[in-house]
Amino acid sequence: MEQNVLTYEGLRKLEAELEDLKTTKRKEVAQKIKEARAQGDLSENAEYDAAKDQQGEIESRIAEIEKLLRNVVVIDDEDIQEGQVSLGSKVLLLDMEFDEELEYTIVGSTEADPMNGLISNESPVGSALLGSTEGSVVEVETPGGTQSFKILKISR
């Protein structure tokens, strides 16, 4: 079984989403289905079809989250190594090509959200950074070519 690596924040977000889906979204879609049924003929009822589709999406997402949570490994702050990039580390980088500072948190693939600074330990940049120390320069092979990053700071 594949383990899903999450930070405590990522775990809380998934648990909150699951709770919302089960308590709020399920009731909302059940009400929509009830209202659509009250309109009569279901064979030509677009509202009924849309509500049933939404119900399927909700139930699918609930099953997906529950499966993720069954095999979750939570990164504890004590597990984050000092001075070395590991899962859960916050890393301040200097993109040497564009002379631009970037900040990323290294997370598991389940929690990755590059647009919000969360990169997967399995991504080219994330995997290249793992094990590196402050001050080191890391070369990363990406689809766009080789990129160089200098690690300015590592924190929890």
Q: Which of 77-81, 82-86, 131-135 has the lowest mean pLDDT?
A: 77-81
Domains held by the chain: number: 2
Provide the sign of the torsion angle of the four alpha carbons 47, 49, 52, 53, taken in this order: negative
- Give 130-150 pLDDT, tens digit per residue: 999 999 999 999 888 899 999
- Give 5-49 pLDDT, tens digit per residue: 998 889 999 999 999 999 999 999 999 999 988 887 777 788 899
> Under a CB-based contact definition with an 8 Å cutoff, are residues 15 and 66 in contact?
no
Tell whether 55 and 112 lie within a shared domain: no
> Under a CB-based contact definition with an 8 Å cutoff, are residues 104 and 117 in contact?
yes
pLDDT at 76: 79
Tell whether 99 and 46 lie within a shared domain: no
pTM equals 0.77
Tell whether 54 and 85 lie within a shared domain: no
